[in-house]
Amino acid sequence: MEDSLFSRDIAAAQNIANPTTFLEPDESLLQVRDWFRSQPNLEARFGQVLRQSIDEVLDGQRTGRFSVEDLEKTEKTYLGTKVEIIARAEFNLSRGEKMDFSVSGHDVDSKFTSAKNWTIPGEADGHICLLIRANDLTANYQVGLLRIRDALLNLGANRDGKRTPSAAGRGAIQWIIPEGKLPENTLLNLSDADRKAIFGAGSSGQARTNELFRRVQGRLVNRNTVLTVARQDDSLKRVRDARHHLRNEGIMILGHQKQHPHIARALDLRVPDKGSWIAIRVARAEEFGPTRRSTQISGQNYALWRAGDSPEPAPTEY
Amino acid sequence: MEDSLFSRDIAAAQNIANPTTFLEPDESLLQVRDWFRSQPNLEARFGQVLRQSIDEVLDGQRTGRFSVEDLEKTEKTYLGTKVEIIARAEFNLSRGEKMDFSVSGHDVDSKFTSAKNWTIPGEADGHICLLIRANDLTANYQVGLLRIRDALLNLGANRDGKRTPSAAGRGAIQWIIPEGKLPENTLLNLSDADRKAIFGAGSSGQARTNELFRRVQGRLVNRNTVLTVARQDDSLKRVRDARHHLRNEGIMILGHQKQHPHIARALDLRVPDKGSWIAIRVARAEEFGPTRRSTQISGQNYALWRAGDSPEPAPTEY
């Protein structure tokens, strides 16, 4: 169905593919683009807007879900609304006169998809759309602008009369973030074996949390991941208790407090922010060779455990 | 449109209005009803499920909204999904084979409305539906069970082919909670004048929070209300700062910590749980008459302020 009318698309592409050559430049759209581009830390903030939106609709703490594919149809539709709400709050935008946002005095409609293409309702004709697409599996996202015109949409419509941008339409998008990095969805990126072990570790949220930190080491794990695994509301307590349970296996869980950031830096690990953690297995020795980073904890010398090291419990206090 | 075919409804009512007389008792449905009725603290828990669902979809902290009427259509649809998710978590239910819940081994579909009547899709025919209705304005809600049959639905269908229970259908509902009390939506229940004063108190979340506690006294105010007014994420800090700002006006804000519960009880106020507060204006005197409750705070005697009392600052420490 998509791009089915070949000759029609050629005609559209000739008019549209390079609008600055064939058409008047769309000054309003360029002002909207420039406003977004001038926002400090834009890519990280938009990535966080999308991470937060997806995580809130998945509602992992209550449902145990971590994949957009598990959302129901009404939830997928609502995800677009959630992105609009969180983006509006993050960038302190007001509502437009008729559309979702007012940006630099121009009405802008927000269109989100977690699939390949956006679905555009008839009412958007002639309006500037902020097109947002996120792929949680590949951890990337795109944000761009398109002023909707009939010639930029595929002919076929879905049941609700919505149409998708054609190849020519997609070619005419003014990109704001052509290739953004989405903060990682830890559970989605584990192997099936690890996921099965974690979610199958028992009916207790604590047992599943322990297995999470047994299996996911050297990588940041955030609060939402712990809540999704534990299905309980006190992630801090789950992590504290996991520290205790995993100590004899030599596993430490570093957070953002006390000497944890210092230990993480000394062992060349990423330093957790508030609400995230990194688990590691440690080995102990009087002295490690010059090629191994180590750090003093409670008067003992620790390094990351390697095959061949003797098993040691993690320090009691850190 | 509703109940338009008079003779048809009479016929339906004769068959259905008292199903235990005219039809076999629906044992499965009665088992589902009895399961819910056996849940400890059922009414308070269901009320909290609905309060939480509505508040999460309103997303007051980000949007400043406090009325279901301000939700968009996709959000109203999603509200039913959120009720289903939170109810499933609260009552520890699993999914049914084909329907939303499995209760006592029976498939049960969840149908929520914030309007007057439920909309039932064709797929529900023959199935047990948990019908949930909440009215935030009147602060009440109902929960009941109905096995969907053609004869219990009005003839007219909406655009999606969904139909509403007829008068006979509504008469056949087995009520689980015929008249539940929804936890109060504080902002929805204020006068227009108070609301305007609070939301118009300035662009700073703190100024709006101060006005909230100036205007709403002697009533519990919860975390969500503070977040909706402040549009910021640290409700505890907003309340702490409001205490400081309002001290010279004689206003105290009691929470659940320190001697606050003791003060609340001594002054015959409701005692705030964690995450809720109660503001009061106090007066100070060496001794109050025998008809006035008072309490010692930092060595001084305080009572609730009454017209005629001299204005006094609230205690510095409490």
The ipTM is 0.86
Chain A residue with minimum CA distance to B100: A72
Decide: A206 and A241 in contact? Cβ < 8 Å: yes
Using only the alpha carbons of chain A, give its radius of gyration. Answer: 24
Contacts with A85 from chain B: Cβ below 8 Å: 59, 62-63
Task: Specify the higher pLDDT residue, A16 or B110.
Answer: B110
pLDDT greater than 50 at residue B14:
no
Per-residue confidence at B15, pLDDT binned at 50, 70, 90? Answer: very low
Q: Which pLDDT score is estimated for A168?
A: 96
**Does A74 sit within 8 Å of B78, measured CB to CB?**
yes
Domains for chain A: give ranges and CATH numbers.
7-181 (3.40.600.10), 187-304 (1.10.10.10)
3-state secondary structure chain B: CCCCCHHHHHHHHHHHCCHHHHCCCCHHHHHHHHHHHCCCCHHHHHHHHHHHHHHHHHCHHHHCCCCHHHCCHHHHHHHHHHHHHHHHHHCCCECCCCCCEEECCEEEEEEEECCCCCCECHHHCCCEEEEEEEECCCCEEEEEEEECCHHHECCCCCCCCCECECHHHHHCCEEEEEEEECCCCCHHHCCHHHHHHHHCCCCCHHHHHHHHHHHCCCCEEEHHHHHHHHCCCCHHHHHHHHHHHHHHHCEEEECCCCCHHHHHHHCCCCCCCCCEEEEEEEEECCCCCCCCCCEEECCEEEEECCCCCCCCCCCCCC
**Does B77 sit within 8 Å of A78, measured CB to CB?**
yes
A201-258 pLDDT tens trace: 999 999 999 999 999 999 999 999 999 999 988 888 999 999 999 999 999 999 999 9
- Beta strand pairing status for B174-181 and B140-147? antiparallel
Q: Which pLDDT score is estimated for B17?
A: 46
Q: Which pLDDT score is estimated for B129?
A: 98
Q: How far apart are CA B250 and CA B280, in angstroms?
A: 8
For chain B, say whether A139 makes contact (Cβ under 8 Å). Answer: no
pLDDT greater than 90 at residue B114:
yes
Give per-residue burial for B163-179: e unless 16+ CB within 10 Å, then b: bbbbebbbbbbbebbee
Task: Specify the higher pLDDT residue, B8 or A287.
Answer: A287
For chain A, say whether B191 makes contact (Cβ under 8 Å). Answer: no
- In chain A, which residues have pLDDT < 70? 1-23
Q: What is the mean pLDDT of chain B?
A: 92
Per-residue confidence at B23, pLDDT binned at 50, 70, 90? Answer: low
Q: Which pLDDT score is estimated for B4?
A: 43
Q: Which pLDDT score is estimated for B8?
A: 45
For chain B, say whether A91 makes contact (Cβ under 8 Å). Answer: no
Q: Which pLDDT score is estimated for A23?
A: 60
For chain A, say whether B184 makes contact (Cβ under 8 Å). Answer: no
**For A78, which of B63, B75, B86 is closest by C-beta distance?**
B75
**Does A59 sit within 8 Å of B88, measured CB to CB?**
no
For chain B, say whether A39 makes contact (Cβ under 8 Å). Answer: no
pLDDT greater than 80 at residue B2:
no
Query: Interior CA angle at B8 toward B7 and B13, to 5°?
Result: 100
